[in-house]
Structure 1
């Protein structure tokens, strides 16, 4: 939660609401993590919806095993809020088994603005989404460090970032350049990022990966990551629903 903090946050009766535009849904959703007060759920939803409308965003809930109240997921489901994008939070309990790769590629540090622009171009992000991404990186309470994995001649291969919080390192926004996908550069990038995190004092790592992203799931399993828990999103706004939901 700290590493994914948004500069546009508010609280509604114990719930944390993030209202930052961008591709990352975790930065524009309701995180129902705190105990609520006396307001009925219907009233809470109305207040949340008002905040999202003012921000020009559709209402979106992120449902985790820690959401409060415990019956929130069932309550939303019974009222037609559709569930989508199940995502695994995975952990790597130690980093001492990692060894440098022999690929010849190296990490090049990047500014938040340059990183958001280049990653956004690979994802097809809008200018508003790119600006929102850069803003989150620069204002997060946990320091984000962005890198490009590149060939000795400077050709970019992949992009990624680490967020260091004490001895805990998070991997975020792992993107391989389209022309180099399927060649193992994602694994090389993640290995080098984790080694960099270890050099800076990290002892363990975490990441988030979509359940249906089979290549990424295989990559992270190969590095030793294990699932800690799974979350998903819910919305009653058809604009947010992926195709087929």
Structure 2
């Protein structure tokens, strides 16, 4: 599949290309739901008081041609973000288009945290000899494990629990544990023929020991048995160890996105 880089946007993408991007973007919204969602034209404004993640607190443009009254709409969105105590942030996929990018450039918006969307046909997943692993049913137990391996603020527990509880497609909560010690965690969201992998992390004390790889393979086997035909994930473009792992498993880049903010925020 051809790579579509948000950093290499052409003024016009073929409709078939944008349709592929929209498919993954919609799956991502369903798999990692924001607490509040507003629409301004084809901009999806996602806000979440209980969790600061950028993908849960950002404007997501879905049509390159929707660039009317930009200053007014950005100001309106800014008031929403201010009410939530979040910095006004755009998440720029290829669906954002070149015209909006030029406008933000002209206004001095900074660009940061480029990420990749990667995919792999599950026919390529070598899971035949992988031990079956049953996902956790206890959200609280999973959240405890995830906060540990991410070395995250315990105050995020209520927000992360709310997000996981709000996932509408079937979600498998996977954790690799040694006794009571969490080693790695991930969420696999089975949505039709797609299996999205989210929040993948390994505790820093046991990295490069294969725990993440084995957990991913267990999740892919679980999803394939449920009818998923394609796995996909999002990863920061400068995360070299993760990119190496995903490439070794057979994942390939589909497109990129990045975030934009005013320097003062």
Same fold (TM over 0.5): yes
1:148 aligns to 2:175 (yes or no): yes
The Cα of 1:149 is off from its aligned counterpart by 1.6
- State the Cα distance separating 1:181 from its structure 2 match: 1.0
C-alpha separation in 2, matches of 1:139 and 1:105: 26
Separation in 2 of the partners of 1:37 and 1:203? 33
Query: Relative to structure 1, is the Cα distance of residues 123 and 235 closer, same or farther in structure 2, using a 3 angstrom cutoff?
Result: same
**TM-score, L = length of structure 1:** 0.86
- Other-structure match for 1:179: 205
User: 1:185: how far off?
Assistant: 1.1
Q: How does 1:7-26 map to 2 (within 5 A)?
A: 7-20=35-48, 21-26=50-55
Report what 2:256 is aligned to: 230
> Residue 149 of structure 2 contacts residue 185 of structure 2 at CA under 8 Å; is this kept in 1?
no
Corresponding position of 1:205: 231
Q: Distance in 1 between matches of 2:214 and 2:145?
A: 19
Aligned to 1:243: none
Kindly indicate which of the two structures has a greater share of residues assigned to helix.
2
Distance in 2 separating the partners of 1:200 and 1:8: 30
The 1:100/1:155 distance shift into structure 2, 3 A limit, reads farther
- Provide the C-alpha distance between the structure 1 equivalents of 2:220 and 2:159, rounded to a whole number of angstroms: 26
1:138 matched to 2:173? The reply is no
Is the aligned partner of 1:123 residue 2:158?
Answer: no
Aligned mates of 2:81, 2:31 — CA distance in 1: 22
Partners of 1:149 and 1:124 lie apart in 2 by 16
Partners of 1:175 and 1:63 in 2: CA distance: 24
Deviation of 1:27 (Å)? 0.9
Q: Is the 8 A contact 2:196 2:231 kept in 1?
A: yes
Paired residues of 2:125 and 2:217 also in contact (CA < 8 A): no
Provide the C-alpha distance between the structure 1 equivalents of 2:186 and 2:76, rounded to a whole number of angstroms.
Answer: 36
Which residue matches 2:21?
none
Partner SS state of residue 183, structure 2 = strand
C-alpha RMSD over aligned residues: 2.4
Give 1:110 deviation, angstroms.
4.2
- The 2-side partners of 1:165 and 1:106 are apart by 19
Q: Is the Cα contact below 8 Å between 1:31 and 1:63 reproduced in 2?
A: yes
Instruction: Count matched residues.
Output: 236
TM-score by length of 2: 0.80
CA contact (8 A) 1:100 1:192 kept: no
Give 1:24 shift.
2.8
Per-residue CA distance 1:176-200 (angstroms, 9 max, x = gap): 1222112111111111111111111
**Deviation digits for residues 41-99 of structure 1, max 9, x if unmatched?**
0001000100001111111100011115x411121122111000000000002335422
- Distance in 2, matches of 1:73 and 1:160, equals 33
